[in-house]
Structures are given as structure tokens and as C-alpha cells.
Amino acid sequence: MRHKKHHASLGVTREHRRAMMSNLAAALITHGRIQTTLAKAKALRPFVEKVITKAKKAAGKTDKKDALHLRRLALRDVRDEDAVTLLFNEKHKEFANRNGGYTRIYKLGPQRMSDAAELALIEFVKAEDTGYSKSKGRRPSKGRKAPKAKAGESAEAAPAGEGAAAAKTAAETAPAGGEAPQGGEKTAVEPQSKAEAPADPGDGVKS
């Protein structure tokens, strides 16, 4: 039984697993991004990040023998001298302002045709990479806003209709003399017909 075994064996022996992690780490250091299975990517992340930490510590050492000791410890894990030299001389500067979290894993949708294994991309995360910001909350859908807008329009239309009805009632109850109602609204006064108009006392009088 595999009690208290905190890493995935990946279905191979201990020696095979060490060689596999060494080759994957060397490829990642050289190219910056590689494609592998999801299980191998998750196993590679802590392995290669410890090597990067050794490179950062070696850059901060003032004594050469201390830096050389850390380089030899990294060579024990990553058995590629060119990759370790590249990491300790150049690549470690990309992670100077980042405290951990040097890698990122992307899950790929299609599975491998041979054994249906889940594929993934693993890449380095540089210091200037801000990552992804979390959303502040769920936004309401557009369909929920429409009923509120209609209700507001109907509420605005109701007072306007009441005002028109009040004006119509005031026009009907206005006095015949054409006086404006006390509410301040002016109503049009129709002119009287000739038959109803009073006779002018000056009509028919010749000067």
C-alpha cells in the first residue's frame, strides 16, 4: 500500500521517475513551455520550482563556493548541464520579483488518441505577469432590466394621463365669457355667431 506517499508515482519505478522529471525540467527550462500529460505537469511543477529557488539563492550569494554548491545540487536533480547553466546565468532574473508560483498549467480540451490521457501545457510565469483578476460578482442578465424599464415608463405615463384628463375637465367647466380658470390654464374661446352677436346701437344711423 502507498500510505504516506505524497507524490504521484506515474506508473513507473523510482529511477525512471527521476529521469523523467529531469528530462521534462530540462525541456521546460530550455523552451519555456512544453506540452505533456496533466499528471506529469502537476508532478513537474514542484520539482522545477525547487530548482528555480536554488538558482535565485545562488544569485544572492557573495561567496562563490556557496553558489557552486547550490548549482551542484541543481545538477543532481536536472541532469542537463546546459539547461542548469542557462537557468543559473540568465533565466533566474525573470523570477527575481516573484516569490513562488513560477509555473502555470493550462488544461487542453482534446485527449490523446492512444491512451485517452488528459493533456496540458506548463509554462513559466514571469514577474511582470499580473495573472487573472477575480470577478467581483455576477452581473444581472439583460432580460431582467427590461421589465424594470417598462414599469418606470408606465409610472411616468400615468401622471401625464391624469394631467390631460384634468385639463379636459377644466376646459369643459370653463365659463362662457372666456375667463381663464383659476388653475392658470388658458382655454380657447370660440367666437359667437353673427346671429347671437348683439346689435350695435350705431347700426343704421347715418352721420
Percent of the chain at pLDDT exceeding 70? 63
Q: Tens digit of pLDDT for each residue in 153-169?
A: 555 555 555 555 655 66
Task: For residues 75-84, give the mean pLDDT.
Answer: 96
Closest among 22, 126, 8 to 74, alpha carbons compared? 22
Task: For residues 19-27, give the mean pLDDT.
Answer: 97
Residue 189's pLDDT is 53
Q: Specify the DSSP element, H or E, that contains 35.
A: strand 33-37
- The answer, yes or no, to whether residue 118 has pLDDT greater than 50, is yes
Residue 38 domain boundaries: 14-124
The secondary structure of 97-143 as a DSSP string is T--S--EEEEE-SSPPTTT-PPEEEEEE--TT----PPP-SPPPPHH
Residue 140 lies in a domain: no
Task: For residues 4-13, give the mean pLDDT.
Answer: 88
What CATH number is associated with residue 114? 3.90.1030.10
What is the overall mean pLDDT for the chain?
79
- Model confidence band, residue 207 (pLDDT cutoffs 50, 70, 90): very low
User: 167 or 11, which is more confident?
Assistant: 11
How crowded is residue 54: how many other Cβ atoms within 10 Å of its Cβ? 22
- Model confidence band, residue 135 (pLDDT cutoffs 50, 70, 90): low
Distance CA 105, CA 130 (A): 15
Q: How many domains does the chain have?
A: 1
Residue 96 lies in a domain: yes
Minimum mean pLDDT among 41-50, 86-95, 144-153: which range?
144-153
User: 38 or 173, which is more confident?
Assistant: 38
How crowded is residue 25: how many other Cβ atoms within 10 Å of its Cβ? 26
Residue 150 lies in a domain: no
CB 7 within 8 A of CB 50: no
Give the gyration radius of the chain's Cα atoms: 44
Residue 192 lies in a domain: no
* Longest CA–CA separation in the chain, Å: 140
- The answer, yes or no, to whether residue 188 has pLDDT greater than 80, is no
Residue 99 lies in a domain: yes
Percent of the chain at pLDDT exceeding 90? 50
Residue 50 lies in a domain: yes
* Helical pair 64-77 and 14-31, crossing angle rounded to 10 deg: 120
- Model confidence band, residue 119 (pLDDT cutoffs 50, 70, 90): very high
- Model confidence band, residue 176 (pLDDT cutoffs 50, 70, 90): low
- The answer, yes or no, to whether residue 27 has pLDDT greater than 80, is yes
Q: Exposed e or buried b for every residue in 104-140, given b needs 16+ CB within 10 A?
A: beeeeeeeeeeeeeebbebbbeeeeeeeeeeeeeeee
Residue 183 lies in a domain: no
Residue 24 lies in a domain: yes
User: 152 or 50, which is more confident?
Assistant: 50
